[in-house]
Structures are given as structure tokens and as C-alpha cells.
Structure 1
Amino acid sequence: MIMAAPGDGPPSRESGDRMRRSLTVLAIAVGTVAAGTGITWTMTHGHPPGAAHRAQGGSSGGRVVTVAKAPVFDPLRLRGNVLTYLRGRPGRAGVMATDLRSGVTFGVNETSQFVTASVIKVDILAALLLQHQRQGVAMTGGERALADRMIRQSDNEAADALYADIGRDAGLQSANAALGLDHTEPYPVSWGSSWTSPADQVRLIRTLTAGGRGPLTPANRRYVLRLMGSVTPEQAWGVSAAARPGERVALKNGWVPLRYEGNGWAVNSIGRITGRGHDFLVAVFSGDSPTMKAGVTTVEHVAAMVVSTLREAGLQAG
């Protein structure tokens, strides 16, 4: 399903009880540390940027040929571009993205915590499914109706009901331990006031993919992604801005005004973009935006900027 970026949707009533200021900047691409740069990266295919590729020649003489390999991914440059853009934007933001096909991954402020708003609804559904798996029972028709409304329409009353069903913060914490979410802190009463990181949300989405090593059954994974792939059109903004025509998008957005705390809007988007040769998992979070529209602009621009670069890196690596 291809999602268009609509206008502003109605704000939810979620609220955050604090806004953390400590930020970290880190660009990640799975595994190799570039000393002194604060950046880690690796290519699953291809060779490290700037490295020479040694190729064995023919059998006569066993000649060794050294061929200069052009950089396939420059995380420093992308990091600089993202930070330059964010310096010109109000508020703060963090991003994590990975291409499951090429193995290229990138993050800025990806372990910093942000108010979740409605993106936590995917986590709530995953927790409910995990509990049912452990009990050996299927979801009821009523639970499926609530889950449909919670994900596709971002219905808050449906989320309230299912959050209570899983045992609120205790139930979510138990599920998150199984899902491997290290930076997510559920709020006891208001699920929308929970905290999470872009890295945790990409980790969550990865457990929903066919190759993800998560506790959910394949059928339950497909069920969650199917709901995320059919959200109501007016809520299909966000990471979908990074998709090209013909690519499939599954996403969940969150938005909440925190002006009474002096922190502006929290606007977030998590999702998956699949197409020929690529399988992107993306999470972009923002806080302190003066308006929802400003937050959406930041989220969509960062998503498009990062995915575009990872897309090209994957093509070069292939």
C-alpha cells in the first residue's frame, strides 16, 4: 500500500510529564568502529569506505592487484547533513534507519529518549499478542476490533482499553524485555506519556519482519504489519515521505501537544518501506516543535534525507 502525506490530523490528548535534554549523536551502520569519530559502520556487501581491495590474480605468478574502492557509504557526511538541517529547525529530533537488504544502518540521537505519543500503540498490540501466545489463546473479536481502531485510526479509547488489558506499564515492561527494547519506559497511567528511542522502535519493527528474531509468531507479525499498512489516509504522513512510487509502506505515527509544560509538540513516525532491492526500517522522533505542522516537516525531511542516502549506498554495495 502506498500512502500519501495528508494534512494535519486531530491532536490526541496524550501528555508527557517531562522532557529530557541530554542528547547523544551517533551514526551507526552495523559493526566496525571508525576510531576517533564517534561513528560505527559496516557494509554487509562491498568494502569499507576508503579501503583498498586486494584481488588475487591468475594462477601464473599469483599476481596481487590492488584496486582503489570508492566509498559506498559516508556516515560522517550524512551525519553532518542531518545535523545541519536540524540546527535550522525548531526543537530536537532523532532518527534510526536500516536497510535489511544491504545491511546499512544509520542513526543520529538514536538512543535519546522522546515522548512516544501514539507510536507506543504498536508496542501495546505486540504485548497483547505476546500474552495471548503464552496463554495459548487467540484474540477475541472485540480485541481485534479495538486493535484495528487503535492502529489504523489511532483511537485513544481503544488504546486505553488494551493498555488496561495487558496490565498497563507492568505488562508492557514484561513484553519489552522479551522484545529487547532497552530505552522504552512505559508510563503507568497515560500510555502516550511513555518514553522511547528511535533505536528501540527500529528494533521493535525488526521483530515484525520475516527475518526478525522476535518472540511473536509469523502470523502475529503479519497481522501487526497489515494494520500498520492500512492506516487511515489522513494519518499516513511521516516516514512515508521517504517512499518511492510503487513501494509499500507500513507505519504508525504519534503526535501530542505538550505546550502546558513549555515543550511544544512531540511528533513521531515509525515504519517499514519495502520495494525492489530495499527493505527499510525507519524511526524519526521530534520534540519541542512549536506546531504539529513544524514537527511533521522535520520528521518527513529527515526520513527522506536518510533513506535516500541509504538507498544509494545499497545500490553501490550491490
Structure 2
Amino acid sequence: MRRQLIVLALAASAAATAGAGLTARWIMSDEPDRKTGVQAGATGPVGKDGTAAVARRPLDTARLRQTVRAYNAQRPGKAGVMAVDLRTGRSFGENEKGRFVSASIMKVDILTGLLLRRQNDRRGLSESEKDLARQMIRESDNSAADALYAESGYGSGIREANRRLGLTETTPFQTSWGSSLTSPADQVRLLTSLAGNGPLGPPGREYVLGLMGTVLREQAWGVSAAARPGERVALKNGWTPVREQGHGWTINSIGRITGPDHDFLVAVCSGENPTMEDGVTTVEHMADLVVSTMRQ
């Protein structure tokens, strides 16, 4: 796992509407890039739009798929990945429609659904709801998630929110949010709605991503392994031993990696891992493998 540095930054002004007082400590890498030797913040030629201009050959999705499948074949458990680069339009998926127990990545869906409900009522979150939201996303507090799931209307409420968000492969359990089923493709759809023009307004979208950019340092694993020096990461991970819906550990990671040349939305889900460590290794390697190839 790459060493990470928590850097202080002011939250977006939208947080004043959806979550006043939030100060972001964005997850950022502070090491020279081992692949290129470039220090954080270094850029190449600048294009007309002000971003670095990089020549890229077409993405060889067939070769990447073969590589990902070969890796999965020698790993315990099962996994799926979906990634999109909003800057280049590149995308890649392998077992992206596979269904996995959601565990705590469902908390992003819960908060998004609650914000949609409050938006419909033309009001923001209460102070107590903001406090619960911070605990749920930053600390992955399950009791906070229980309370906000109830405020969101439980499974039926999130199901209605997901219909508006375009999530077609997520099945929220009525009361046990962590037992919900989802897919990497649906998780990228959720991230896309937060990063772009989804039904949730800009203040709500930026609030969710702001919280995802401030998770506790010890929970900043997962898709962050694919980040390069100086890039910002907003993520949410999920991990739980599974008993009634299979066996082993479910380990999931979803997030956004933003840099001068790329804007990646990534979701990696895994199940039937013998240990949590096995699952984390699989998720991080798959995220890094796919994103690194999409950069070329």
C-alpha cells in the first residue's frame, strides 16, 4: 500500500449548504512516482484547456482483461472491477456486473439517498444528521449508518433513490443495509452521479465527495493504491466476514482519483476472501493494475 499524506484543505463552498463547518483533509500521495520518477505536482506540456496534454495509444481492453483474469485466477475468492476516466472517456470492466455483498460501501448510497430526500423537501440535513454523516463516512460507524438508513426510508427509500440515480444492479436489504447486494458497475454509476450532473444538486454531491476525501487514515486503503503523487482521493471501503450470504470476507473499495490529466472513478468488489488481508491485497492490486493501464 502506498504511503499517504493527509493534507489540510478547505472544503468546497457547497459544504456550507449541505454540511457547514466541514474542513477536508484530503488523502494525497507524497512520494515520487515509482513508475515515472516524477515528483508530485510535476506536469508535462499544457493543452488549450489548461490541462496537461498527453499522447495516448488506444486502450487494449482485450489484453487488460486477459491480465486481470489471470491475476484473479491465482487469487483466492472472487472479484470484479469497473473504472472510468472522465477526462479521456476510457472505461474498463471485468465481472463488473457481478453481485457482491455491499458491506460499508453502502454508506455512500445511504447518504446520497438521504440528501435526495431532503432536497425533495427543500431542506438540508439537521446538525445531528451532519454529525451522523461524518461518523458514517469518515469513521465507518455502523450505528450512525443504522440511524441514517432509517431516516432515508430503509431499503424502500434507498431503492427509490437508486431508481433516480440509475442504479439497476443494487438490491438494498430492508433493514440490514450491510447485507445489500451491488455490483462494481452500479457503484461507478453512483460515483458518476456524484462527480457529474446527477439528480442530487451540486452542494449535496460535493458534500458526499468531501466526506469521502476525509476518511480516517487507517481506512485510506483500497482504490487509493492506484493514486499517483499529488492526486486527490475520495473513497469509501467496506469489509465484513460473511456467514449467511456465503463465506469468507467481503472486501470492497470505491472512489475517485483526481489529478491534472485524469479523473478516475473506480469500484472494486470482492468476496469469499479467506482473510481481510487477502481481500485488501486483491482489491488494491486490481485497482492499481487497471488504473495504471488506463493511464498509458
Q: Same fold (TM over 0.5)?
A: yes
SS of match in other structure, 1:223: helix
SS of match in other structure, 1:2: strand
Task: Work out which of the two has the higher radius of gyration on C-alpha atoms and give 1 or 2.
Answer: 1
1:126 pairs with one of 91, 106, 112: 112
Structure 2: which 5+ residue stretches go unaligned? 1-25, 30-55
What is the match of residue 82 of structure 1? Answer: 68
TM-score normalised by L of structure 1:
0.75
Question: What is the identity percentage for the equivalent residue pairs of Structure 1 and Structure 2?
Answer: 61
What is the match of residue 220 of structure 1? Answer: 204
Task: Output the CA distance in 2 between the equivalents of 1:269 and 1:196.
Answer: 12
How many angstroms does 1:2 deviate by? 2.7
How many angstroms does 1:71 deviate by? 5.0
What is the match of residue 42 of structure 1? Answer: none
SS of match in other structure, 2:295: helix
Task: Output the CA distance in 2 between the equivalents of 1:283 and 1:93.
Answer: 11
1:273 pairs with one of 238, 246, 257: 257
Task: Output the CA distance in 1 between the equivalents of 2:181 and 2:244.
Answer: 18
Structure 1: which 5+ residue stretches go unaligned? 5-69, 313-318
The within-5 A match list for 1:1-318 is 1-2=26-27, 71-209=57-195, 212-259=196-243, 263-312=247-296
How many angstroms does 1:213 deviate by? 2.7
CA contact (8 A) 1:269 1:299 kept: yes
Task: Output the CA distance in 2 between the equivalents of 1:127 and 1:264.
Answer: 29
Task: Output the CA distance in 2 between the equivalents of 1:125 and 1:74.
Answer: 36
Letter paired with 1:188: Q
Task: Output the CA distance in 2 between the equivalents of 1:174 and 1:136.
Answer: 18
Task: Output the CA distance in 2 between the equivalents of 1:261 and 1:290.
Answer: 15
CA contact (8 A) 1:179 1:204 kept: yes
SS of match in other structure, 1:244: coil
SS of match in other structure, 2:160: helix
Letter paired with 1:103: G
Alignment deviations for residues 200-222 of structure 1 (CA, whole Å, 9 cap, x no partner): 0001011111xx23111111111
Letter paired with 2:127: G
CA contact (8 A) 2:133 2:144 kept: yes
Aligned length: 246
**Superposition misfits of 4+ residues, deviation over 4 angstroms:** 259-262
CA contact (8 A) 1:284 1:299 kept: yes
Task: Output the CA distance in 2 between the equivalents of 1:277 and 1:289.
Answer: 34
How many angstroms does 1:276 deviate by? 1.1
Task: Output the CA distance in 1 between the equivalents of 2:209 and 2:272.
Answer: 29
TM-score normalised by L of structure 2:
0.81
SS of match in other structure, 2:27: coil
Task: Output the CA distance in 2 between the equivalents of 1:203 and 1:246.
Answer: 25
CA contact (8 A) 1:243 1:249 kept: yes
Alignment deviations for residues 64-92 of structure 1 (CA, whole Å, 9 cap, x no partner): xxxxxx95210000000000000000000
Letter paired with 2:258: T
SS of match in other structure, 1:230: coil
Letter paired with 2:250: A
